[in-house]
Amino acid sequence: MRRQRAVVTGGAGFLGSHLCEALLARGISVVCLDNLLTGSARTIAHLMHRGDFTFLQRDLTRPVLIDGPVGYVFHLASAASPADYLRWPIQTLEVGSQGTRNALELARRKDARFLLTSTSEVYGDPLEHPQRETYWGNVNPVGPRSVYDEAKRFGEALTSAFRHSRGLDTAIVRIFNTYGPRMRPDDGRAIPTFLRQALRGEPLTVTGDGSQTRSICHVDDTIRGIVDMAMSGEHGPMNIGSPYETSMLDLARLIIELTGSRSPILFIDRPVDDPAVRRPDTTLAYERLGWSPQVTVDQGLRGTIEWFTRELALTRSA
């Protein structure tokens, strides 16, 4: 019975809310924990009426007590966009360290399988391309992005320590750039920023010369990879991301085309330590999980545009 119940930290966030839905669809009841620093109760409002869903507003940097059996602990709690973790650097480090420790302790007490959602940011500005799980990364430990990068790297080390020294059943996935419905328009990451600007007829702000690349993966594919990993016997780390790599300039042009916008492109300064390239090697996920992305970029972006159009209309009418 314990395998029929999961705890999702950061469950009111972009990824977390989609994960809660996916677990419920599998017949797994969900306890969603979130302090709502970057998450929003709106993302899970449609789940609140369900008897198999519970929301608890909690600060994960303090010990968390959950009554009853728990089979899975999914640890997603963290600021994820540069705008957020630069605004809350200490909180980002705290949830990546003490928050991860408390989530691990919860899993240990419940004898639950623990899954850490890490990030492609552990590779930093990579010198290996595409990035395999065996690559150790090129991270500036004192740069402005380090609060997120190092928090996740520490989380991976702590998760591994609990597995090796305390016998906890753990898994680590490294998530690459994910997009889709429920991203905040003011999130600060490229796709929500470009979509908000294009739909409002504002200039799309491309950093640097726009040649830097990212690999974008639709949220449905990312969540499927997370769930597949949790249900497997794999420990990871394992990359979950799309091999579709595009420059920021080409992505801006594509969004202008798909939205039918007349927005111009405006080049602005590139952030410090902004990675030049980013693309996962997903061979391991395919071989061990049979996982690969299924949602095409055109399909995924069109659906995301529809959601953003409705969201921005609601914002204007509020």
Query: Residue 269 and residue 239: Cα distance in Å, rounded?
Result: 30
Question: Predicted confidence band at 128 (pLDDT cuts at 50, 70, 90)?
Answer: very high
- Is 67 part of any domain? yes
**What are the tokens at 49?**
């009426």
Task: Say whether both 162 and 270 belong to one domain.
Answer: no
Q: What predicted TM-score, i.e. pTM, was given to this entire model?
A: 0.96
Q: What pLDDT score was predicted for residue 3?
A: 76
Peptide bond into 126 cis (omega under 30): no
- Is 306 part of any domain? yes
Residue 78, pLDDT above cutoff 80: yes
- Is 289 part of any domain? no
Q: What pLDDT score was predicted for residue 318?
A: 54
Query: Residue 174 and residue 133: Cα distance in Å, rounded?
Result: 9
CATH number, domain of 40, equals: 3.40.50.720
253-293 pLDDT, tens per residue? 999 999 999 999 999 999 999 999 999 999 999 999 999 99
Q: Which amino acid is at 316?
A: R
41-55 pLDDT, tens per residue? 999 999 999 999 999
Question: Predicted confidence band at 315 (pLDDT cuts at 50, 70, 90)?
Answer: confident
Task: Say whether both 21 and 129 belong to one domain.
Answer: yes
Q: What percent of the chain has pLDDT over 70?
A: 99
| Strands 178-179 and 217-218, sheet pairing | parallel
Nearest 5°: the CA angle 45, 83, 135 is 100
The count of structural domains within the chain is 2
- Is 146 part of any domain? yes
Residues whose CB is less than 8 angstroms from the CB of residue 67 and which lie 6 or more positions away in sequence, other chains included:
none
**Which DSSP state fits 132?**
P
Residue 13, pLDDT above cutoff 60: yes
- Count the helices and strands in the chain (H runs, E runs): 10, 13
Task: Say whether both 169 and 63 belong to one domain.
Answer: yes
User: 255: number of CA atoms within 13 Å, CB side?
Assistant: 34
Q: Which domain holds residue 250?
A: 190-213+244-278+296-317
Task: Say whether both 109 and 221 belong to one domain.
Answer: yes
CATH number, domain of 300, equals: 3.90.25.10
**Residue 312 CB burial class (10 angstroms; 0-12, 13-18, ≥19):** middle
Q: Which amino acid is at 35?
A: N
- Is 54 part of any domain? yes
Q: Within 10 A of 153 (CB to CB), how many other CB atoms are there?
A: 22
Q: What pLDDT score was predicted for residue 317?
A: 62
Task: Say whether both 204 and 99 belong to one domain.
Answer: no
Q: What pLDDT score was predicted for residue 2?
A: 57
Task: Say whether both 248 and 138 belong to one domain.
Answer: no
Token pair 């919860």 is at which residue? 106
Task: Say whether both 200 and 158 belong to one domain.
Answer: no
Residue 19, pLDDT above cutoff 90: yes
Residues whose CB is less than 8 angstroms from the CB of residue 314 and which lie 6 or more positions away in sequence, other chains included:
none
- Is 286 part of any domain? no
Q: How much is the average pLDDT of 53-80?
A: 96
Task: Say whether both 222 and 114 belong to one domain.
Answer: yes
Contact 137, 123 (CB under 8 A): yes
Q: What pLDDT score was predicted for residue 314?
A: 83
Query: Residue 301 and residue 259: Cα distance in Å, rounded?
Result: 10
Task: Say whether both 227 and 266 belong to one domain.
Answer: no
Query: Residue 54 and residue 309: Cα distance in Å, rounded?
Result: 30
- The mean pLDDT of the chain is 96
**What are the tokens at 310?**
């409705």
Token pair 């391991």 is at which residue? 284
- Is 283 part of any domain? no
Q: How much is the average pLDDT of 126-142?
A: 97
- Is 287 part of any domain? no
180-238 pLDDT, tens per residue? 999 999 999 999 999 999 999 999 999 999 999 999 999 999 999 999 999 999 999 99
Contact 244, 216 (CB under 8 A): yes
Question: Predicted confidence band at 116 (pLDDT cuts at 50, 70, 90)?
Answer: very high
Task: Say whether both 136 and 204 belong to one domain.
Answer: no
Q: What are the catalytic residues?
A: 148
Task: Say whether both 166 and 224 belong to one domain.
Answer: yes
Contact 29, 5 (CB under 8 A): yes
Backbone φ, ψ for residue 50 (5° rounding)? -80, 140
Task: Say whether both 87 and 120 belong to one domain.
Answer: yes
